[in-house]
Structure 1
């Protein structure tokens, strides 16, 4: 399998994992301005960015969770917001992981630190961006009353923070566990972006 085919296949696989984790590993919370949820979708968006780079990882998250939104009547109206934010998570995580730390060259304690800091960067983008973007999207695009939009943004801040903590722990652990094996058989070199 050539490098391009492997990368496209991995984007599809990671998008599917994002979809499943977002859709089936979710607890919905209704608010006056719409719904928010606890979910594990961001975990695989971040993992995709660590494995594939920022844009491919963000595309996987945007596709997987975007489809999740489009197929759920509760979330269909916020699909554009989801697609933008998940793409952002991937880009920030991948940028820090591959352009700042060059994680594909690291091992041991330095790899662990770089992976954890990269995942924190991506999830920090989401923790700040989700409530703010949600407020403006709900108010100006969807036309919800300001009070309802503020309620949704407040709940989004809570759920997004918990989702972020879970994503950092789980995605970092998975990457650290599988990276040596992927490195050893040469797959990681084929997946990771070039320096």
Structure 2
């Protein structure tokens, strides 16, 4: 039904309201966890080269960095913290790169658990071993340390908590030092991977 012309200005003055439903207190859907997992696998290896993707983090995200024993709250502090780590890595290490070892969405917990590895060469090693100047030799003899992260996702598909832990690191090729608590969590994480693989195999057999 058309409004009379004299009521048209009044109708235009009536504000339109848009309502959005907030699912931040609910668990995420499987496809939301898959999205976070995909973005991590695609962007984390570029940490020391490009700016990371922060589009799937909540504005009030909490970062519990147990590696450096600091906590950061808010997307701005998170970006600044990761940006500083990336910059310092490029400045103080002649070679540094990051690799994703595994990333698994855990639907029951609403989390994404993933393990990563930082591979690098320090200036001290470079000075004591000139062969590291050769790229093909260097990439085969990188120092490294592994980390374990848990990202908790809300019902909107946004990460609201990030926990970072160091699992183990290489001091010399013949020595590896383990952090007991983090190693135990990593073993649980590996067992979770194995259970999922076995579950997929059973599903295929059925």
TM range (shorter): under 0.3
Greater fraction of residues in strand: 2
Give TM-score, length-normalised by structure 1.
Answer: 0.27
Greater fraction of residues in helix: 1
